[in-house]
Amino acid sequence: MFGAFRRYFSTDLAIDLGTANTLIFARDKGIVLDEPSVVAIRHEGGPHGKKVIQAVGREAKAMLGKVPGNIEAIRPMKDGVIADFVITEQMIKQFIKMVHPRSVLTPSPRIIICVPCGSTQVERRAIKDAAEAAGATAVYLIEEPMAAGIGAGLPVSEASGSMVVDIGGGTTEVGVISLGGMVYKGSVRVGGDKFDESIISYIRRNYGMLIGEPTAEMIKKQIGSAFPGSEVKEIEVKGRNLSEGVPRSFTISSNEVLEALTDPLNQIVSAVKNALEQTPPELGADIAERGMMLTGGGALLRDLDRLLAEETGLPVLVAEEPLTCVVRGCGMALETMDRRQGSIFTSD
């Protein structure tokens, strides 16, 4: 009876608290928030004074690299886990406030939140604590590959192997799922952020120019690729010339970006090959037949599916709307959590 009452007034939420983006799914509503995981802080009364939140999400991201001395734009998540606890808690609070109108009748939400499968117990505890401090009555954790697999529509409950490779901003998570459980899970702290860093250092080394993270991300999205293609693309970029100290323009090609990305791409290929080596043969046969599913924003890097297909000899599919797979999977878990036995959640 209480369950029915709760469902009627349900404010339960599923959160993909990502290194790059935070998405929130509300029961019966779908995705209600999709914002960059960025917070702008204003320091009042000097460096040891009060810290006041100036902006969160999109508004704060627009400030990255452009803020005056007393404002700091921070990404409080790094490699998929909390790098700054206080700011992360504040960020979750603000995001929940944006989607969760509180009144006397609305019960505090139960929250499903996803965690990288390579995160430590301490890191998971920190994520749980941050959600509780932000007002959740109960917090359930789900591992990212499981959520991504559900969101991508893989038959995770069946007795057959499904392989998902979720390439986010901070981590790449590889999972092999069968009968609603993770038979293999692996995580490397390489993702879209490492791609951006590699582009920044390539340009510094080869052009003597300094560019910021937003420019590197723009280069990656516009002309980045993971496999040599027939079409070479070019883009004009502005940066600071390190020897002259003044802004200059230069042109970079997609082949150069591919060269810059070699190292992080190799790490992703190794993570996938590792997973295949450690997958039980019966499930490996299912994967050989049906292929692996790519999710996460990194899956949008041009020809990443082709690289993985060439390297493994297996079919590779890119999920529909890879950026929202994890939160949609969390959302489906939320919709069915009162009926499920809870096996898809992780206990620590």
Ligand X SMILES: Nc1ncnc2c1ncn2[C@@H]1O[C@H](COP(=O)(O)OP(=O)(O)OP(=O)(O)O)[C@@H](O)[C@H]1O
Residues that bind ligand X (CB under 6 A): 16, 18-21, 80, 144, 168-171, 191-193, 217, 220-221, 224, 296-298, 300-301, 323
- In this complex, which beta carbon is closest to ligand X, that of residue 6 or of residue 213? 213
Task: Tell me how crowded residue 42 is: count the other CB atoms within 10 A of its CB.
Answer: 16
Distance in Å, CB of 318 to ligand X, minimum: 11
For the chain, the 3-state helix, strand and coil shares in percent, each to the nearest 5, are 40, 30, 30
Task: Please say which residue, 148 or 283, places its beta carbon nearer to ligand X.
Answer: 148
The answer to whether the CB of 200 falls within 8 A of the CB of 216 is yes
Q: What are the tokens at 212?
A: 């910021």
Per the listing, tokens 């295949």 go with 276
Please state the closest distance from residue 220 (CB atom) to ligand X, in A.
5
Length reported for the chain: 348
CB of 327 to ligand X, least distance (A): 9
Instruction: Please report the beta strands in 189-319, taking only residues with DSSP state E, as ranges in sequence order.
Output: 209-210, 234-241, 247-253, 292-295, 316-318
The minimum distance between CB 284 and ligand X, in angstroms, equals: 25
For ligand X, which is the closer residue by CB, 282 or 320?
Answer: 320
- Determine the residue type at 251: T
Is residue 39 within a helix (H) or strand (E), and if so which, with residue range?
strand 39-44
Q: Provide φ and ψ at 347, rounded to 5°.
A: -85, -25
- Nearest distance from C-beta of residue 200 to ligand X, angstroms: 13
Give the three-class secondary structure for 310.
helix
Which two tokens mark 44? 């009042």
Q: Which positions ≥6 away from 196 have C-beta within 8 Å?
A: 213, 216, 217, 220
100 or 220: whose CB is closer to ligand X? 220
Nearer to ligand X, 217 or 286 (CB): 217
Contact 127, 89 (CB under 8 A): no
Minimum CB distance to ligand X smaller for 96 or for 223: 223
State in angstroms the smallest separation of the CB of 52 from ligand X: 25
Q: Point out the residue whose Cβ comes nearest to ligand X.
A: 192
In the complex, the smallest distance separating the C-beta of residue 76 from ligand X, rounded to whole angstroms, is 12
Q: Which helix (H) or strand (E) holds 60?
A: helix 58-61
Of residues 259, 263, 262, 264, the one with CA closest to residue 206 = 259
Q: Which is nearer to ligand X, 10 or 171 (CB)?
A: 171
- Would you say 198 or 279 has its CB closer to ligand X? 198
Q: If you compute the radius of gyration of the chain from its CA atoms, what whole number of angstroms results?
A: 21
Q: How far is the CB of 79 from ligand X (least distance, A)?
A: 7
Which tokens go with 201?
Answer: 């250092």
